[in-house]
Amino acid sequence: MGFFQERLRHTLAVLASCTLSTQLLAQVLPMQRQVENGLEHEYMSLFQLYTYLHANPELSFKEVNTASRIQSELKNAGFEVSGSIGGNGVVGVLKNGTGPVVMIRTDLDGLPVTEQTGLEYASRVKTQDDHGNEVGVMHACGHDVHMTCFIGAARLLSQFKSQWRGTLVMIGQPAEERGGGAKAMLAERLFERFPRPDYVLALHDDATLEAGKVGIVEGNALAGVDSVDLVIRGISGHGAYPSATKDPIVLAAQTILALQTIVSRELRAIDPAVVTVGSIHGGTKHNIIPSEVRLQLTVRHYSDDVRNKILGSIARISKGLALASGIPADLEPTMAVSESIPPTINNPELSQRARKAIASILGANNVVRSDPVMGGEDFGFYGRTAERIPICIFWLGAVDKAKIEASHKEGSKPLPSLHSSFFAPAPEPTIKTGVKAMTAAALDLFARP
């Protein structure tokens, strides 16, 4: 039974006994209405926060102003706030008696994408990336939505302290897009320096789901991700005389095709996995055979065993093909793994509780079952600690129904995806739904430890 349903059942029982005062009845009966009324009161302020965040994104590990704004918002909501945790990470703590510790997480960073939405509040930010290149910056993955819903839930939960007992921990995490923020915050003893959570919740907007709806998946939710750099080397020379060389471009082409057999022929058909070569760099001129080719791969998986098998196969295949091509042993391929994050696996029991609690405020028709995806999220780190803390991330619909219906018509353009320069969530229904859903899920956890 969800939080609001449980409170209604309790209230009706008390009404039947005719022992409840009018004042107390006003406090107990309309909790769902109180959340909705409180959100209506806060919405314009939240929309202003959203447009500010949307127009002023910052890249991973550089979220200084964003973190400062989130700290200020949490302080104003009554939280004890700490900053600079794992870089630009923010932690807000609200203690409210004895009870469960519920942690809610948002991400802070934007992407190196030049916005093309045409919105009045579109980002026009230009900055330099880590390599000194000028890039546009955009919240193309909707972290501005996440932060706004996060602050909205913090405000409402603070206002309704009389309705729950426990400790609420709000964390603003840096560098989700680089896969380093969660790891950095945990490395700085997040769970030791601050109240250790009994549950960790998060949300992520969905560029294919109707605004006003929430999607929840139990178990496997988002894949583990490894970025792999593979360097294939050879012996350079003139393009007119390939027999005097060992051509790494031809070898790279053979390797790319052979890597596609890992998923199709080496893994069980029931094991989800992806091996994608996303970048090839080699050579400088038409008639020069280069000395090396650099490949950048993304590897996706849902288990450590599958991950290890894929990485071992990449190394074996690349070295084996080099040997078959006559590449000297001292020039065999080299491989490095970076930006590694584990899969995000939603705790089934917590996910079921979240589903019921959210349905109690949004309506059962607005809570749908989502499928696992091969996209990645470093939120999974919070559930990989020694304590195996239950975690749940749910999907937040962000698209007008009319746009979804139009995209399904033959010949229509597909909806802009996450990370697209045209991605523009429908603000009001998305934000209101996210705030209500997260508030309801947290209240349920506080009410029934």
Cα gap 250→168, rounded to integer Å: 57
Distance of CA 370 to the CA centre of its chain: 15
Nearest alpha-carbon partner for 346 in 309, 283, 277, 394: 394
Q: Do residues 367 and 359 make contact, with C-beta atoms less than 8 angstroms apart?
A: yes
Q: Is 177 a catalytic residue?
A: yes
Q: Which helix (H) or strand (E) holds 430?
A: helix 427-447
Contacts of 325 (CB under 8 A, 6+ apart): 246, 250, 251, 254
Query: Which one from 42, 115, 144, 177 is the annotated catalytic residue?
Result: 177
Contacts of 388 (CB under 8 A, 6+ apart): none
Q: Do residues 51 and 139 make contact, with C-beta atoms less than 8 angstroms apart?
A: no
Cα gap 152→339, rounded to integer Å: 31
Pairing of strands 219-233, 344-346: antiparallel
**DSSP string for residues in 162-213:** GG--EEEEEEEES-TTTT-HHHHHHHTTHHHHSPPPSEEEEEEEEEEEETT-
Cα gap 130→127, rounded to integer Å: 10
Query: Which one from 107, 176, 206, 226 is the annotated catalytic residue?
Result: 107
Cα gap 74→65, rounded to integer Å: 14
Q: Is 377 a catalytic residue?
A: no
What secondary structure letter does DSSP report for 331? Answer: G
Question: What residues are annotated to the active site?
Answer: 107, 177
